[in-house]
Amino acid sequence: MKLDAGRIDAFLKAPTAPIVLLHGPDAGLVAERGLALARAVPGALNDPFRFAELSNPPPDTLLAEASAAALTGGRRVVRVREAHEALAKPLETLLKHPPEALVILEAGELTPKSKLRALAEKSPDIAAIACYAIDPAKLPQVVTARLRGMGVSIDQDAAAWAGQNLSGEEGPLGQALEVLYLYAGESKALSLADVAAALTDGGDTSMGDAIDAALTGDVAATDKALSLAYEEGVSPVGLIRVLLGELLRLRVAAGAVAEGASTQEAMAGMRPPVFFKRQPVVTKMLRLWPLPALEQAIAAALAAEAACKTTHIPDQAYCRQTLLALASRARSVARR
């Protein structure tokens, strides 16, 4: 049965079909809904006897796992990544005696001619859920609603800007929202300037040059670009907030690298996309700043922002000290 959009959220919380086919071009949304379904069976994810995860399995393996009984009692969950057309036949076999387990099939984009999709859409015991990117026209409302759910408010014009500059795919969108949530900090509010600073890819300004130099380990260039930025009227707090936005974007990409993605794959997932002229710079940053180091850098940037807002602390000097410390750390790593 083909599940319409209005029924999906309720179904994910309490699946009523023993077999679910998730398919579509938005791989992030497919994976997110697959995990939500697995979590809908209490205790299954934490019990190795009740949870099996398969990737591109042969038909016999799917049949065996879907038919197996849970040794510890309770309902089993079989989560299948990279579901393919050859699984249509074992599914026909399973439908003769629907399994007690919850079988979750995660596939890519399937055409209407797909046997797997056709079987799922016509069978009452299989729920077929299509996973597509969010309509760009609806992105501002989605961004506003999701941030509200995270306890963060966003100005209307800021949400509109985000809608125009973010991807509607679940994976990149979720990453961007995490960046915005962290950027909002204790204020729990985002203006247009905040969103642009957090998400905009760096440009050719002295401020951008200073941040790029710091994160690639060029101490002298950092100091020179920072002096030019101050001469141009850049405020230390504003610079630190742009630095923080860049660190948060790098943190998302570094997390993808830590999970096995290549540097190029991780950089391709950054939103907004990295300008082609900056790709070598960002590649170097990701090499010099693994995830644990970025967490420390983010903490240092947050501390610097708070310090620069304190009246008795010389903000320009403190900001310079922070960037030079980052540059020194990156240079040390580069020399190893």
Mark 169-187 as b/e (b = at least 16 C-beta within 10 Å).
bbbbbebbbebbbbbbbee
Please state which of the ranges 60-64, 116-120, 238-242, 280-284 shows the lowest mean pLDDT: 238-242
User: Integer distance in angstroms from the first to the last C-alpha of the chain?
Assistant: 58
CA-wise closest residue to 182 among 222, 142, 147? 147
- pTM flag (> 0.75): no
Please state which of the ranges 104-118, 146-160, 301-315 shows the lowest mean pLDDT: 301-315
**Size (the chain), residues:** 336
Going from the N-terminus, what domains does the chain have, and what CATH number goes with each?
5-130 (3.40.50.300), 136-199 (1.10.8.60), 206-334 (1.20.272.10)
Q: What percentage of the chain has pLDDT greater than the value 90?
A: 56
Q: State the pLDDT at residue 248.
A: 87
Mean pLDDT, residues 97-105 taken together: 94
279 CB-near residues (< 8 Å, 6+ apart): 267
pLDDT digits (tens, 9 = 90+) for 142-174: 999 999 999 999 999 889 888 877 878 877 788
Q: Per-residue confidence at 201, pLDDT binned at 50, 70, 90?
A: low
In which residue are the tokens 């504003």 written? 238
Contact criterion met (CB below 8 Å) for 274 and 307: no
Contact criterion met (CB below 8 Å) for 256 and 269: yes
* Rounded-to-integer distance, Cα 115 and Cα 121, Å: 10
Mean pLDDT, residues 200-212 taken together: 73
Q: State the pLDDT at residue 200.
A: 63
Q: State the pLDDT at residue 35.
A: 93
Please determine, for residue 87, whether its predicted confidence score (pLDDT) is greater than 80. Answer: yes
DSSP H helical ranges for the chain: 5-13, 27-39, 59-67, 88-96, 115-122, 139-149, 156-165, 170-184, 192-199, 206-215, 219-231, 236-258, 263-268, 279-288, 291-308, 315-334
Q: State the pLDDT at residue 158.
A: 87
Mean pLDDT, residues 80-95 taken together: 93
64-68, 163-167, 232-236 — most confident range: 64-68
